[in-house]
Amino acid sequence: MNEKGLSERPAFTAYTLALAVGGILLAAAALRETGDLLVAHLESVAFFALFIGLAWRFPFTILPRARMSMDYVFIIAALAVLPQPLPYMVGVGAAILGVLLRRGESLGARPSLALSCLNAGVLFITLATGDLVASVLGATWDFTQLTWQNTLGVMGMFLTLNLLNLALLSMAVHQRGGSALEFARHHLLYISPMEVFTIPLVLSLISLYVDSGLAPFLCLGVSLLLVSYLFHHLNRVEEGVRRVNQSLSDRTAELAALNSIGKEVSSSLDPAMVCAVVARHCRQVFPTGTFFIAMADPEKREVISRFVHRGDQLKIEDRLPVGPGFVDWTLKRLRPLMIQDLLEEGRNLPFAPTLHDSTIRSILMVPLMVENKGTGVMGMAESSVGKFDIDRLSVLTTIAQQAAVAIENARHYQLATVDQLTGLYLRHHFMQRLADERARSQRYRTPFAVLMMDLDTFKEINDRHGHNIGDRFLRQSADAIRQSLRGSDIACRWGGDEFCVLLPQTEVEAARATAERIRKGVEALSPTLIGIRATASVGVATYPTDFDGNVEDLVKRADQALYRAKREGKDRVEIYSLKRADPVAEAS
């Protein structure tokens, strides 16, 4: 009777109590007149109870997923050789002994009332059913000699009791919220076929008891129990080795992940890229669940960006799977948080827990810290109970230490190179990249282009709608520029409402087409500005056509082309090389 995986729930406990009470009533009714009969067969009853209880205590596995025990061998033998109702007395003794021997084994340190009732009830009802089968068999149930009728009777008894056991345990699995169909399928495919091979053992025990008495029976019974114990002990050793191997495998994966994270994040200066690297390698250590990083402002300790990794994708999201209480507590206390079962522990948390994913049961969170300041939070969330332990906490803490430094370095680099309003590069960084591109183009003899762009109506928008709307227009214009560029193109905020763009490996006509896309992208922003038409003017200069030895002069010529576009009506694209330079612009 394999109760592995069952847990105590109200419906399950009520079912097992009813089962036990029903079994006890059946046993009590059968044991009313055992007196002299029990005294005459006391040794046999005691040994059968002892063998069944010990066999119950030492289940074993021969093939993967096929867990069984020898208890049915002794149960059927007792039904065959002991006069009724003594098998019930055997059941009482076996149930008491089995519960005592397996005390606290299934569900923790205290004995499980529900599982004790389940096993006792199943045993009593099995014996009552076996008694009924034996009475139906009648005269054929005679083991003074081994015949085909007796063999078929034992097989019929085995089949009946096995199906009864399966029905009772399947109902127990259903009551505790599991799949009774899956349990029955597993039992029929893996356990029942193995238990069929115990039928010859039943016949051997019965023949020894009938022909030679109790002593030879005891020798074979002890031998069977010894085999059960050895297999049981071997299974435990194998399970221990398997756990050690799994632990070594986990530690190897953790070290590989830590090594890979250390190498990759140190070479990245993009916070989103750092988060993506960490998330990808964390999957080696935490293959399931949801991984998340909340990056915070170290001074204000407010979350400024959220990265969530579900499945195979890392996304920037508006909210994390866990609510602000978890993040705020971890950021302020700078301590890790590990929750094994949110339903049990949620009421005792020092903050009001809120979740944006109602399926979460286990949570593991650690602070991202740089120089004793909290820069964010890294965490894992699982829908299963008890998914995290101290080892997992230690690994995540080590990963968080590496990630925190890399993210902070990337954040500082971003502050030094990226305009915080538009998200485009700053002017000094753009000029460095332009110089690098000029050196590369000179070496490989490839062209490139520079665009200088100005928002024609920015001052009017600021005057009419205020600086907040003006700033929003700048951000939207920057987005329109980004959407018009390739991955290799580089855009910067030159200053105020001016932008500059570098187009590597681009001829003049391709540069003109890109400039037109940008101009139309800005024009498409007009519906969001009441009463004002958004327009932009763009100037284009190309290398090597417009280059005279200085990249600053190349930018200046793109600016001269922009000046010509503004002077000739705005909302247009002008190419420096197609017209003679404007004297006024040259002078300026």
pLDDT at 177 over 90: no
Res. 301: pLDDT tops 80: no
Query: What's the per-residue H, E or C state across 325-394?
Result: HHHHHHHHHCCCEEECCHHHHHHHCCCCCCECCCCCCEEEEEEEEECCEEEEEEEEEECCCCCCCHHHHH
- Give the model's pLDDT for residue 143: 60
Average pLDDT over residues 265-274: 71
pLDDT in tens, 401-426: 888 888 888 877 877 888 988 989 99
Average pLDDT over residues 380-405: 86
Helix, strand, coil abundance in the chain, percent, nearest 5? 60, 15, 25
| 528-551 pLDDT per residue, tens | 776 788 899 999 999 999 988 889
Cα separation, 428 vs 410, whole angstroms: 18
- Residue at 225: amino acid letter: L
What's the pLDDT at 349? 86
Instruction: Give the pLDDT of residue 116.
Output: 66
Q: pTM for the complete prediction?
A: 0.51
Confidence check: pLDDT of 12 > 60: yes
Task: Give the integer Cα–Cα distance in Å for 367 and 330.
Answer: 6
Query: Is the confidence at residue 315, as pLDDT, over 60?
Result: yes
Which of the four pLDDT bands, split at 50, 70 and 90, describes residue 299? Answer: low
Segment 336-361 shows an average pLDDT of: 85
Q: Is the dihedral of CA 26, 32, 33, 37 positive or negative?
A: positive
Lowest mean pLDDT among 207-211, 338-342, 463-467: 207-211
* Least confident residue range of 14-18, 64-68, 169-173, 553-557: 64-68
Distance of CA 420 to the CA centre of its chain: 35
Contact in structure between 269 and 410 (CB atoms under 8 Å)? yes
Give the total residue count for the chain. 588
Which of residues 457 and 178 earns the better pLDDT score? 457
Between CA 380 and CA 385 the distance in angstroms is: 13
The crossing angle, in degrees rounded to 10, of helices 271-285 and 214-265 is 170
Q: Which pLDDT belongs to residue 108?
A: 38
- Delineate the domains of the chain, giving CATH numbers in brackets: 10-225 (no CATH), 266-416 (3.30.450.40), 427-587 (3.30.70.270)
Angle at CA 565, nearest 5°, toward 560 and 571? 140
Q: Is the pLDDT of residue 6 over 50?
A: no
Closest CA to 337 of 363, 302, 309: 363
Would residue 482 be called left, alpha or beta, if left means φ above 0 and alpha means ψ between -120 and 50 degrees?
Answer: alpha
- The amino acid at 359: T
